[in-house]
Amino acid sequence: MIEIEDLHNKQTFTKEYIAEMLSLSGEKRKMMLKEAGEFHVKQLGKKVFFRGLIEFSNYCTKDCYYCGIRKDNRDINRYDIDDEAILNAARFAHENRYGSLVLQSGERNDSMFTERIAKLLRGIKKITNGELGITISLGEQTREIYKEWFEAGAHRYLLRIESSDEELYYKIHPRDEKHNFQTRLNCLHTLKELGYQTGTGVMIGLPFQTYEHLANDLLFMKELDIDMVGMGPFIEHHDTPLYKFKEQLWPLQRRFEVSLNMIAALRFVMPDINIAAATALQAIDPMGREKALQVGANIIMPNITPTVNRKNYLLYENKPCTDEGADDCTNCLKIRIEMSGREIGFSEWGDSKHYKKPLSIPPKVGRK
């Protein structure tokens, strides 16, 4: 039985207890969410940090069963934004006092790609005087590549485990060398060892997924001692293999509610990590991300991808903000965040308070 008043001081969370938190609905759920918001402010204050998101390419070598930009989807326009446009987006983020940006794309491992990224990272550092924090989310790579990118200036890495349950993982990915659960897990360990602030996450409301799976996902994050989390609702895409399970999914509204429950529960389980208000929340509820900020999330990722390309990075359907420019996003978000009783940490990196640097890593320049 969950006693809402006990949540603030609770030290250990069992799988059963978390599963119960996740399955709450009605009045009790509302009480838990409110409590999570208060706990969050007590732990981390009211500041929310921006990560300008640049989805610079949708070319992908993987075939994940849920994802709209999977290799086998022939029904999309593939794009790759040129370096100059990426640097311009970084300039925009810097000038508009976003503390950081996120570079994300489909997954590629060829040297043309990996070398280009290293060059871009150095370029972004240079044009922003090392003042812009950089998160990258570029999938599974070798230790050498991760190291090269770290040395080039990236200091946070987001690699969602997608599901920490190996059996479920293979229901949503092909079972082959390119989609190996253990490899993904090893990558997370490598990123941590190299000194990245390391983030992971899962999709919520996948076919075959239960509250127990999701509770275990949160315990997985705790055990891995992760610094940041981005997780959001699964939204089916008609050109993907998982679409055939559409009828078996939780209704969208329930997926949304459980996503907020996940954020609130994780805030209690890991009080000092960074939690992102995932964009997918907004695909279900226009105020989805702001609602997440009120129950434990403290990071928001305004899309600063040049508008012409946005329509083609369709990981899922009804993806928001695909037709407005970056300027519109900033203004609209500022108002929305202030309405949610939060404030924006302009020009601050907003690093995860949970992060502890491995002893061998020298400090980065420009840290704020």
DSSP category for residue 349: -
Task: Write down the H helix ranges in the chain.
Answer: 15-23, 26-44, 83-95, 111-127, 143-152, 166-172, 181-194, 211-224, 252-269, 279-284, 288-293, 307-310, 326-339
Binding letters toward ligand SAH, positions 309-348, x by CB under 6 A: ------xx--------------------------------
Applying CB under 6 A, the span of 12-20, 155-163, 166-174, 262-270 interacting with ligand SAH comes to: 155-163
The answer for 241, left when phi > 0, alpha when psi is -120 to 50, beta otherwise, is alpha
Going 84 to 89 to 95 to 98, the CA torsion angle's sign is: negative
Smallest separation, CB 305 to ligand SAH (Å): 13
Q: Going by DSSP bridges, is the β-strand pair 197-200/343-344 parallel, antiparallel, or unpaired?
A: unpaired
Applying CB under 6 A, the span of 73-81, 156-164, 211-219, 302-310 interacting with ligand SAH comes to: 156-164
- 162 is an interface residue for ligand SAH by CB under 6 A: yes
* Rounded distance between C-alpha atoms, residue 346 and residue 243, angstroms: 40
The size of the interface with ligand SAH (CB under 6 A), counted in residues, is: 18
Residue 266 β-bridge partners: none
Q: What angle do CA 77, 80, 82 make, to 5 degrees?
A: 140
Applying CB under 6 A, the span of 13-21, 132-140, 175-183, 344-352 interacting with ligand SAH comes to: 132-140
State which of positions 207-266 bind ligand SAH (CB under 6 A).
234-235, 237
CB closer to ligand SAH out of 128 and 309:
309
Contact 318, 289 (CB under 8 A): no
* Rounded distance between C-alpha atoms, residue 359 and residue 356, angstroms: 9
Residue among 37, 52, 99, 106 that touches ligand SAH (CB under 6 A) = 106
- 98 is an interface residue for ligand SAH by CB under 6 A: no
CB closer to ligand SAH out of 7 and 280:
280
Smallest separation, CB 41 to ligand SAH (Å): 28
CB closer to ligand SAH out of 138 and 191:
138
Distance of CA 44 to the CA centre of its chain: 19
Smallest separation, CB 160 to ligand SAH (Å): 4
- 199 is an interface residue for ligand SAH by CB under 6 A: no
- 66 is an interface residue for ligand SAH by CB under 6 A: yes
Residue nearest to ligand SAH (CB): 139
- 139 is an interface residue for ligand SAH by CB under 6 A: yes
CB closer to ligand SAH out of 235 and 262:
235
Residues 6+ apart with CB under 8 A from 364: 130, 153, 155
**Of 232, 238, 228, 241, residue with least CA distance to 259:** 232
Which residues are near ligand SAH by CB under 6 A? 66-67, 104, 106-107, 137-139, 159-160, 162, 203, 234-235, 237, 280, 315-316
